[in-house]
Chain A
Amino acid sequence: MIYLDYAATTPVAPEALTAMLPYLSDAFANPASDHAPGRMARKAVEKARAQVAALIGATAEEIIWTSGATEANNLAIKGALEFRGLDNAHIVTSKTEHKCVLDTCRHLESLHGTRALSVTYLKPGSDGCVTAQQVMAALTPRTVLVSLMWVSNELGTINEVEKLSTMLRERGVLLHVDAVQAAGKLAIDLAATPIDLLSLSAHKIYGPKGIGALFVRKRPRARLAPQLHGGGHEQGMRSGTLAPHQCVGMGAAFALAATRLADDAMRIATLRDRLWMRLQALPRVHRNGSGLAAPHILNLSFEGVEGEALRAMLPGLAVSSGSACSSATAEPSYVLRALGRDDALANASLRFSLGRATTEAEIDLAAQQVIDAVLWLREISGEPGVADIPAPTDNAFDYPAPVWAQFLEAGSNSGEFAPGTPGVQTMRVENRASASWLALHLRLVDERIREARFTAFGCPVGIAVGHWLATQAVGKSAAELRALTATELCRALEIPDDKLHCALMGEDALKSIASL
């Protein structure tokens, strides 16, 4: 398995893990406890706080621990707005923010009030970037907060937050920056950059999951209403028992990132460029977000292939198709749609994100796997053939066994007949909702189907249906084929209910067979 999903999560660095372990065993005390073991835990937490601060040019007392970046983003936006009063307030953000920023903004908009809060969602340019100028133009006298990510988690593109921070400071508007993908990748110096609030995550930079932090500027002081109430931990801004092993792990990861930043960035950018160069061997590949980019992310859309089939073809490659947080829904990325990609192209996109352990050999192998998969799927949809593309062998997404078996064999009877072949009838049906299509090509001799082929664009189930029908058709009469129903197809291939539309597409193709 080649892991190219470092923007979703990273392994914990051995240095961080080693630092964490004592705080899981002997040094387990509650850092809020006022006894010797408690003070020892507190000391470790405070050292880690200073390590986190050091990477971003902040002071330790400006770091508020949270359970992760989602909580940090929630705290920054809701906390700032609640402190200033929601009535009549205005927020500027972008359509390509992380889901938790967008969901938080939408939640604030939905709160009922006589003078409701409003949010402007800026659309990035075709390069994937939001410019400082764009933000400034969206400000109104009511604007109290701008929330903009430093580096896009999907595209890797860099927004002009440094330039923006100075401009907003002059206007007296608070700036919150989601720096989850920027920390450890770009040099950040908050002593010189007047950002008011900045969110950090540990598990994106080789620290543990379940911990993050919010930078809250002291001078001038950014004021927040707390979102988690309780014992008054974290200067009253975030209650809850701290987990010293987590804090220490994040501190160690940030300290490590500080020493490695320049080397990591250069090496990883070189590998990223190598991957992009290799994949450009394929025609009709589009890079999403062409603007200035962080070193570790490459987001591509592949024309002429369906997204789910592409992912199924790459069982040995851990990559993301959109933000992991919304992968469960498997909807086309809203970020790519915001860039103007249509649903089909947005769906057929992969985000490669590279990390410290990524090697040149992995990059080359990954590129080859992607090229093979795209060419194979394009061939299934009738594009000029490419010889000897191996089919995938690992049913990583747990398709029903008959579906998977048919899918693997799909190359054997895909494609159209040579133009001018006598007695050929083609039935082509589409499914608008899933943006897929299936075509059966039947060659008839003496009222019987002598030879059958298919072409298809769709998920593995749709392709399996095409292959199975083409196999079944041989030797049958038109009437016999027309009698075959979607129910029988579902039974034969064990097609699950949520893929019923694939079976129906097959039935529709058979129904349209003309009388012979």
Chain B
Amino acid sequence: MSRNRPGIGQYVLLTLLAIVFLYPIWWAVSSSLKPAAEIIASPLSIGELTLDNYRAMFADVPIGTGFLNTALVLLVKGGMTMVFCPLAGYAFAKYDFPFKNVLFGVVLLTLMLPTLVLIIPLLLEMSALGWVNTYQALILPGSVDAFSIFWMRQTIAAIPNELIDAGRVDGAGEFGIFYKVVLPVIRPGLAALAVLTTMNIYNDFVWPVVAVNDTEHQTLQVVLATLAQNVTGNRIGADFATVWGELLAAGSIAMLPLLVIFVLLQRHFINGILAGSVKG
């Protein structure tokens, strides 16, 4: 398909597809900046711009708390993934030790399991540990996963053994080799793992919504999901326009951080998504 110069029809089709993918986001963001009543009265035109929906939304839900909680979970949970998985992946890629294959086999076995299977036993585990409504509950489950270690092992296995032996000859300790030789070489892979992990943790909803039921620990996505209820609860008889204005404001502000990171790091993102798909 690479020999012909692309025709005008191809551009038209691609542009149509791009509009389909981008318009809902554009509409949501631009509508969130309109006076609430206008969202229903004239959904297509943009006249006066206002931050009223945002002000009302900030008053109705603790979205700031949601952002802070998500940031905290992202930092600690993501940090654990980024340290533990490359380290273990290195051991599986470059060392021989008893029970190596058995241990790795156990990890692979869980690769294909739907995550929903773990929800119920994890909930019981959390309540047995007294961790319901805690940050530990949000952070620890899912902080390492079969896929990340599998992928790190693949990436590190591609490093020539000579490079590692050279480090050993230079007198570096075992951890020194990992830190000074292995990590710098797999930097693109680490960058892709970081963006994929960030995306998964930031957008996660299923676990946070069952693990936490107080406002203090709600992550951003959970705060978002409770918004409509809060608006109608706070103002009896709130009309559609009010609720929608706030929904769109909250949605827009929640999309923003990832979209900005995505546009800045899109090459790593797309590599991460592609590498993530080696999973199958």
- Genuine A/B complex: no
